[in-house]
A and B are shown apart, each in its own frame.
Chain A
Amino acid sequence: MTKPLKEVHIAAHFPGVNNTTVWSDPKSGSHIEFSSFEHFARAAERGKLDFIFLAEGLRLREQKGQIYDLDVVGRPDNLTILAAIASITERIGVAATVSTTFNEPYELAREFATLDHLSGGRAAWNVVTSWDAFTGENFRRGGYLKADDRYRRANAFLDAAFELFGSWDPDEIVADKAGGKFLSHSDPGRFEYKDDFFDIAGNFNVPTSPQGRPVIIQAGDSPEGREFAAAKAEVIFTGRSGLQDGREFYADVKRRLAKYGRAHDQLLIMPASTFALADTDEEAKAYAEEVRRAQVSGATALRLLEQFWNRDLSNYDPDGPLPESEPDVVSESLTAGRASARMFGDRLAKAKEWREIAEAENLSIHELVLRVGLGGQGQTFVGSPLTIANQINDLVQADASDGFIIVPHITPSGLDGFVDQVIPILQEKGVFRQDYVGTTLRDHLGLDQPGVINQPDFAAAAQ
């Protein structure tokens, strides 16, 4: 007996404010004009993709106390731009990354419920927990959260938001014109939520939205993050796009679902991925290398090395040799507003290893950064449309993922080739929808309407 083919899910991530996005290409358009979002959204919907995804950063990144100027800078407000995107599309989901740290449940739940109403049930929320005091300087709450409190607050925030999303009965509004009765009872949207983080009560003022609440996306990788996702998320946005690491992650997270009374298919694993597409595999390989060089210019290579070295290297030549000094692992990071600095691991050991490579192969700073992939390992999928479609499908069928959140490197046209050439092959294989069947994002993802989902106590289960 052959195993039935799994459906592949594909979402499109609007190019972000990091060095994956190539702005120096002549095809690169505006990152803020609505026409760019319109182009991108129309391509994504033409491809019948599951949803459009937007990342968030609430303070401009800095390096050495100065705003980082080598990458794209500037982006719209996520929820607001998605309302406009929902207005010009019919079926595709709209997913906003929004911090639980610098928002309040009542206001954010109103915004998401509104987006879900206006889009006819297509809203999703990628729940993130900004933690740094640097970002806090832009907000009333200010300050920051201890690392341990990040998931606790996110969890509390979601519980509070779920309480609000579910506060109106679906049939609360009677609006019987002849009988003169608008509401079925006098206390609509009644809610109460109290814990270590929130103490709120009253009446929510947005009636229940078509999906009940937005689809919950989460990007956790740590054991705590995985547990959080297994308890509450419906899509995981992960960095694990390979076969082996993908399968391990997939199996681990799906295994955790049972504890929360959730079915295997109620949490989708969708790794972030990039691609370099060309007519032939050979051309694609050359193109991928060209893109990587555009993503990591000499100036960018030097700044990346600076982040790693944690020293001012502005007097160095990217085309010259590595610095003689060792990375400064004692001082506070000279970057702010980005997560990567925390992920470098043992920098002294790695620097030693890199120095050996650079000496053996006679590499400049720029060449070494490209060689060791400090600015990214290159594109996830490289090849002809057929090769990329096969790569994607093979990973999904091997349970390394349920699909991918793909991010093109060119705004806004970078998605076009993928939609017009790769998607049709996935459709021919019978693993990707020919057209939207349902109307809501939950329909596209095969997710139950909330209320069906069992809501266990995350904190108790995590112990």
Chain B
Amino acid sequence: MAKDSINLIVALDGTGWHPAAWREADARPHEFTTAKYWKDLAQTAERGLLDAITIEDSLGLQSERPFENDARVDQFRGRLDAVQVATFIAPSTHHIGIIPTVIATHTEPFHISKAIATLDYVSRGRAGVRVQLATRTSDSKHFGRRDFPHFTYDDYLNGNGREFIEELFDEAADYIEVVRRLWDSWEDDAEIRDSKSGKFIDVKKLHYIDFKGKWFSVKGPSITQRPPQGQPTIAVLAHATVPYELAAKSADVVFITPTDKNPASSIIAEVRAAESEVERSLPPLKVIGEIVVFLGKTTEEAQAYRAKLDDFLGHPYQSDAHIFVGTAEELADLIAEWSASGIEGYRLRPASLPHDLNLIVDELVPVLQKRGIFRTSYGEGSLRSRFGFARPANRYASSVKG
């Protein structure tokens, strides 16, 4: 059964993905910075045997406008650092994978590499990381080290700023390369504790990564040992050719957004084409479909729930991902349909928390189990293994053999 199990991930973000979600009766908008809030959500997700949770992040405030701040006071605003939240959650869970978002723009690959390695140690092999960019000019001003061109979403749709954003993708590819090399910069058996020679480590098993690039150069090795999984799973959310290429080149998992206009089958074809284009050396990308979910016990209840939140918002909620409104049975039907076109797993974005997470765990999971496409218990194994990846060999190990 477990072998045929689809991957099911829930995307945690504030009080949910709908900007008015905080107004739901069971929402806890005053508690989103607290320990208990995050432990409760993670433990609920683990009760549902989910593969992983992701945690969103950004280097600026949430906004309705893609490239700039808005001035709304009626929507949820504010966040915590996702890597910190992820590591905080780890000791109070035992099986679920934990995938924080990190922003590759403005931050240091050296710091992130050791932070995710640390998450992997704390969680005993359950760490992943989702890599995202910070394209907003306002975010760049929070760092003040690079001048970003200013453009609006309309400019972007007209083709302005694209070249610049493509550069940020190139930088992200370098970033991931550095993070991965640092994870391998210690061989697994580098620590020898040889009392006779007095040596704690075998220096031949530590490696300089000597990365030199346009945006940064990193010498290495990491100050942190190779993480238990060797290479924690790296995920990228992608909507177009350039990001598909980043995923194909650098990631293990790609989150895609099939819609009625752009069905799963054609996106998957694009992703696979990108994999051959970049001459991918990693195992084939695991393709995960994204769905925003408004769940109800009945279709009518789900529709009323969405209508109420949209009413608060003042307009229909829009998303880059497909928006599903309905029951667990109906969502299972959609999942079956997408799975038939090659989607291997799903990242569900709850419209509000804990409402939709509870229904995913208590209603959707039993339906999927009944249909024989979702596990009935957690087996042993790392997050990598749950995605079907073996523990990888160390890229530096062969160079010192003999």
Contacts of A188 in B (CB 8 A): 61, 77-78
- CB neighbors of B among A67-124 (8 A): 67, 69-77, 79-81, 83-84, 86-88, 102-104, 106-107, 110-111, 113-115, 117-120
- Whether B385 is near chain A, meaning CB under 8 Å from some CB there, is no
Contact B195 A24 (CB under 8 A): yes
Given contacts A32-B224, A34-B122, A74-B186, contact A139 B81 (CB under 8 A): no
In the complex with contacts A81-B122, A199-B144, A86-B88 CB distance below 8 A: yes
Cβ of A59 < 8 Å from any Cβ of B?
yes
Asked if B216 contacts A140 (CB within 8 A), the reply is: yes
A118 in contact with B111 (CB, 8 Å): no
Q: How far is the CA of A106 from the CA of B143 in the complex (A)?
A: 7
Mark contacts of A271-303 with chain B using CB atoms, 8 A cut-off: 1 yes-contact digit, 0 otherwise. Answer: 000000000000000000000000001111000
CA distance A205 to B139 in the complex (A): 11
User: Does the CB pair B193–A24 fall under 8 Å?
Assistant: yes
A205/B79 in contact, CB under 8 A: yes
Contact with B along A152-196 (1 / 0, CB 8 A): 000000000000000010000101010011111111110000000
Interface size class of A (residues with CB under 8 A): 35 or more
Contact between B118 and A80 (Cβ–Cβ < 8 Å)? yes
Q: Do residues A180 and B77 form an inter-chain contact, with CB atoms below 8 A?
A: no
Q: With A and B bound together, what is the CA distance between A173 and B31 in angstroms?
A: 11
B233 in contact (CB, < 8 A): no
Chain A residue with the shortest CB-CB distance to B35? A118
Q: Is the CB of B74 within 8 A of A180?
A: yes
The answer to whether A114 touches B85 (Cβ under 8 A) is: yes
- Is B89 close to A, CB under 8 A? yes
Given the complex of chains A and B, what is the CA–CA distance between A120 and B121 in angstroms?
24
Q: How far, in whole Å, are A299 and B195 apart by their CA atoms in the complex? A: 10
Most buried by A among B83, B85, B122: B122
Q: Mark B1-38, 1 if CB is under 8 A from A, else 0.
A: 00000000000000000001011010101100111001
Which residues from chain B contact A104 at a C-beta distance below 8 Å?
106, 143, 145
Measured in the bound complex, the distance between the Cα atoms of B201 and A38 in whole Å is: 24
Report which of B30, B78, B117 forms a contact with A206, defined as CB distance below 8 A.
B78
Q: Which residues of B lie under 8 Å from residue A118 when comparing CB positions?
A: 33-35, 38, 80, 84-85, 88
* A137, CB-defined interface residue at 8 Å: yes
Once the chains are docked, how many angstroms separate the CA of A180 from the CA of B33?
A: 20
Q: Which chain A residue has the least Cβ–Cβ distance from B80?
A: A114
In the complex, the answer to whether B85 meets A181 with C-beta atoms within 8 Å is no
CA distance A70 to B200 in the complex (A): 5
* Chain B neighbourhood of A76, CB < 8 A: 114, 117-118, 121, 224
- Per the bound structure, the CA–CA distance linking A139 and B110 in Å amounts to 7
Chain A residues, Cβ within 8 Å of B119: 80
Does B157 sit within 8 A of A, measured CB to CB?
no
Contact status B73-A58, CB under 8 Å: no
- Contact across chains for A67 and B224 when beta carbons are under 8 A apart: no
- B98, chain A: closest CB distance, angstroms: 11
Please encode chain A, from 114 to 144, with 1 for each CB lying within 8 Å of some chain B CB and 0 for all others: 1101111000000000000000011110100
CB of B319 within 8 Å of the partner chain: no
Contact A84 B87 (CB under 8 A): yes
With A and B bound together, what is the CA distance between A172 and B197 in angstroms?
60
Q: Is the CB of B35 within 8 A of A34?
A: no
CA distance A75 to B73 in the complex (A): 43
Residue of B nearest to A187 (CB): B71
Question: When the two chains form their complex, are residues A140 and B30 in contact, meaning their CB atoms are under 8 A apart?
Answer: no
Contact B106 A67, beta carbon cutoff 8 Å: no
Q: How far is the CA of A181 from the CA of B73 in the complex (A)?
A: 6
**What is the CB-to-nearest-CB distance from B60 to chain A, in angstroms, rounded to a whole number?**
6
Does A57 touch B at the CB level, under 8 Å? yes
Q: What is the bound-complex CA distance between A23 and B138, given in angstroms?
A: 48
Contacts of B243 in A (CB 8 A): none
- The docked-state distance in angstroms from the alpha carbon of A120 to that of B88 is 12
Instruction: Report the Cα distance A298→B71, complex, angstroms.
Output: 67
Closest to B136 in A: A202
Q: How far is the CA of A115 from the CA of B34 in the complex (A)?
A: 10
Mask, B226-259, CB within 8 Å of A = 1, is: 0000000000000000000000000000000000
- Residue numbers in B under 8 Å from A449 (CB-CB): none
Chain A 431-456, CB within 8 Å of chain B: the 1/0 string?
00000000000000000000000000
Bound: A111/B54 CA distance, A: 18
Which residues does chain B contribute within 8 Å of A205, judged by CB atoms? 58-62, 77-79
Interface assignment of B277: CB less than 8 Å from any CB of chain A:
no
> Are A74 and B223 neighbours in the complex by a CB distance under 8 Å?
yes
Cβ-defined partner of A198 (8 Å) among B22, B144, B193 = B144
Closest chain-A Cβ to B89's Cβ sits at a distance in Å of 7
A72 touches B78 (CB 8 A): no
> Is A362 on the interface with B (CB-CB < 8 A)?
no
Q: Which residues of A contact B61 (CB under 8 A)?
A: 188-189, 203, 205
Name the CB-closest residue of B to A84: B122
A107-B107, A114-B80, A180-B312 are contacts. A67–B206 as well, Cβ < 8 Å? yes
User: Cβ of A428 < 8 Å from any Cβ of B?
Assistant: no
Q: With an 8 A cutoff between CB atoms, is A201 at the interface?
A: yes
Q: Is the Cβ of B108 less than 8 Å from the Cβ of A87?
A: no
> Are B198 and A110 in contact (CB-based, < 8 A)?
no
Closest Cβ neighbor of A62 among chain B residues: B203
Q: When the two chains form their complex, are residues B203 and A32 in contact, meaning their CB atoms are under 8 A apart?
A: no
Taking a contact as CB atoms under 8 Å apart, the answer to whether B118 and A81 are in contact is: yes
Q: Does B217 sit within 8 A of A, measured CB to CB?
A: yes
Q: Which residue of A lies closest to B83 (CB)?
A: A80
- With A34-B122, A57-B223 as given contacts, are A77 and B73 in contact (CB-CB < 8 Å)? no
A60 within 8 A of B: yes
Which residue, of A73, A77, A186, has the highest number of chain B Cβ atoms within 10 A?
Answer: A77
Given the interface contacts A34-B121, A69-B199, A77-B111, does A182 sit within 8 Å of B88 by beta carbon? no
8 Å CB interface, B100-155 against A: 106-108, 110-111, 114-115, 117-119, 121-122, 124, 138-139, 141-145
**Interchain nearest-CB distance for B333 vs A (Å):** 33
B401 within 8 A of A: no
Q: Mark B164-205, 1 if CB is under 8 A from A, else 0.
A: 000000000000000000000010000101010111111100
On whether the beta carbons of A110 and B81 are closer than 8 Å, the reply is: yes
Name the B residues within 8 Å of A177 (CB-CB): 22-23, 25, 27, 29
Q: Is the CB of B115 within 8 A of A72?
A: no
Find B35's partner among A72, A119, A137, A185 (CB 8 Å cutoff): A119
Interface membership of B76, Cβ < 8 A: yes
> B13 to chain A: closest CB distance in Å?
13
Which of B84, B110, B223 interacts with A75 by CB under 8 Å? Answer: B223
Mask, A198-241, CB within 8 Å of B = 1, is 11111111110100000000000000000000000000000000
User: What B residues does A148 contact at CB under 8 A?
Assistant: none
CB-CB under 8 A from A114, the residues of chain B are: 80-81, 84-85
A244 within 8 A of B: no
Task: For the complex formed, measure the closest distance between the CB of B45 and the CB atoms of chain A, giving whole angstroms.
Answer: 16
Q: Is A33 an interface residue (CB 8 A)?
A: yes
* A78 to B134 Cα, complex, angstroms: 25
Question: 12 A-B pairs, CB-CB below 8 angstroms?
Answer: A34-B91, A60-B221, A69-B199, A80-B118, A83-B88, A110-B80, A137-B217, A140-B216, A180-B20, A200-B144, A202-B60, A205-B77
Given contacts A67-B221, A69-B202, A202-B138, 10 further A-B contacts (CB under 8 A): A57-B223, A72-B200, A74-B201, A79-B84, A87-B87, A107-B59, A118-B38, A137-B217, A138-B218, A206-B80
* Shortest 3 CB-CB contacts between residues of A and residues of B: A299-B198, A175-B29, A137-B219
Residue ranges of A at the interface with B (Cβ–Cβ < 8 Å): 23-24, 32-34, 38, 57-60, 66-67, 69-77, 79-81, 83-84, 86-88, 102-104, 106-107, 110-111, 113-115, 117-120, 137-140, 142, 168, 173, 175, 177, 180-189, 198-207, 209, 297-300
